[in-house]
Amino acid sequence: MLHLVNKSPFERNTLEACLKRATKGSSILLYEDAVYAALQGTTLAAAMAQAAKTHEIYVLTPDLTARGLDAASVLDGVRPVDYDGFVDLTADKGTVQSWL
Amino acid sequence: MSYQVGGKTVEHDEEGYLVDIGQWSEDVAVMIAEAEKLPLSSEHWEVIHFLREYYTEYQIAPAIRVLTKALTKKMGEAKGNNKYLYELFPYGPAKQACKIAGLPKPTGCV
Amino acid sequence: MSVESDNSAEPKVKRFMYVNRKAPHGTVYALEVLEMVLISAMFEQDVHLTFLDDGVFQIKKGQNPSVLEMKDFSKTYRALDGYGIEKVFVEKESMEERGLSQDDLIIPVEIIGREELGALMESMDVVLSA
């Protein structure tokens, strides 16, 4: 299963809501303002690194680039994907849930 | 667009449904039915009042399948079926009965 | 009638979950989802309705939005049973965080834990959320 999150974790709790329910081994894609959750050095970094051990966490690179960020600023264990990768994930991971 | 009932003006939309369901009365129902060229019998009123009660309780107009099920429960199978309802309201319980009862178009009417 | 069918005689019934996470009157999401659920009932799919996070406020008893000149669609949840929608779940943690218990809810529901909810979601063919 694939969970989609698109809101900044510093403004909204949708990522937290997702992490509370996403089962072990499920995938989570961070896009739009949710890409800030994937960064090193934030107050969330430790929790995200932990989450990356039990879930496949992806981040959409065009949304990083647009915000002056890149794959090098992303936590270890978080996997950058482009739009094609996003499409593949939605096709391969089965059920999709958007945490709006 | 409006119905004129006893000197009062009751607004309706382009399909004849009341704009404000609070304006409904039995006189208004008679007026809508006249516009539909449908004389109302006691069997019609039974369905109209049932729809009003359903709306008051649930705040929606029931889909036809739900209406027939609820009518069967309350009045028995002879009155809780499509054929009976279409005989009373030839343009359909949704299109005609709800309209005359002053309800909006049924939710789940696809 | 079915939404889709394969070549076999039996139409495929899919497992649908509607996820309600928003409180009822501040935004239009709750009402929109409710209307979607009522319409989907016509397609005879295996519908699951869940309330979590602020979504549990949607089915709190005693709402009176008429003071805001808004429709009281909390009454409409009680019509779901008549529409054949019987699988209604509330997440225990969300309910308790908000100081609510089953007695505060307008309809009978099945209370499930957070982990169980996650697993249930995982078992769906389609999940729709607001």
C81 domain-assigned: yes
pLDDT at site B46: 96
CA triple B39-B68-B24, angle to 5 deg: 45
The phi, psi pair for B74, rounded to 5°, reads: -85, -40
Higher pLDDT pick, B7 / A75 = A75
C31 domain-assigned: yes
Could you list the residue range(s) of the whole structural domain that residue C55 is in?
15-129
Amino acid identity for residue B40 in this structure: L
pLDDT at site C97: 97
B110 domain-assigned: no
B108 confidence band (pLDDT: 50, 70, 90): low
Per-residue model confidence as pLDDT tens digits over B34-84: 999 999 999 999 999 999 999 999 999 998 899 999 999 999 999 999 999
Residues in chain C whose Cβ is within 8 Å of chain A: 19, 21, 52-53, 93, 114-115, 117-119, 121-122, 124-127, 129-130
- Taking the C-alpha atoms of residue A56 and residue B85, their distance in angstroms, rounded to an integer, is 55
Average pLDDT over residues A28-41: 98
Q: Give the rounded percent of residues in chain B with a pLDDT score beyond 90.
A: 74
User: CB–CB of C122 and A1 under 8 A?
Assistant: yes
Amino acid identity for residue B76 in this structure: G
What's C99's domain CATH number? 3.40.1260.10
Output the average pLDDT for chain A.
97
| pLDDT at B110 > cutoff 50 | no
pLDDT at site A19: 98
Task: Give whole-number Cα distances, C83 to A1, A27, C13, C34, C126, in Å.
Answer: 29, 34, 17, 12, 20
Picking from C28, C127, C128 by the largest number of A CB atoms within 10 A of its own CB, the best residue to mutate is: C127
The number of folded domains in chain B is 1
Please indicate if any CB of chain B lies within 8 Å of the CB of C36.
Answer: no
pLDDT at site B94: 76
CATH number for the domain whose boundaries are A2-99: 3.40.1260.10
Could you list the residue range(s) of the whole structural domain that residue B36 is in?
2-100
C8 domain-assigned: no
ipTM comes to 0.87
Domain residue ranges in chain A: 2-99
pLDDT at site C83: 94
- How close, in Å, is residue C120 to chain A by CA atoms? 10
How buried is B46 (Cβ within 10 angstroms: 0-12 exposed, 13-18 middle, 19+ buried)? middle
User: Helix, strand, coil shares of chain C as percentages rounded to 5?
Assistant: 40, 20, 40
Residues of chain C with pLDDT under 50: 1-5
C46 domain-assigned: yes
What's B55's domain CATH number? 1.10.10.370
Average pLDDT over residues B7-20: 90
Of the listed ranges A27-31, A42-46, A94-98, C37-41, the least confidently predicted one is C37-41
C39 domain-assigned: yes
Handedness of CA C68, C70, C73, C75 (dihedral sign): positive
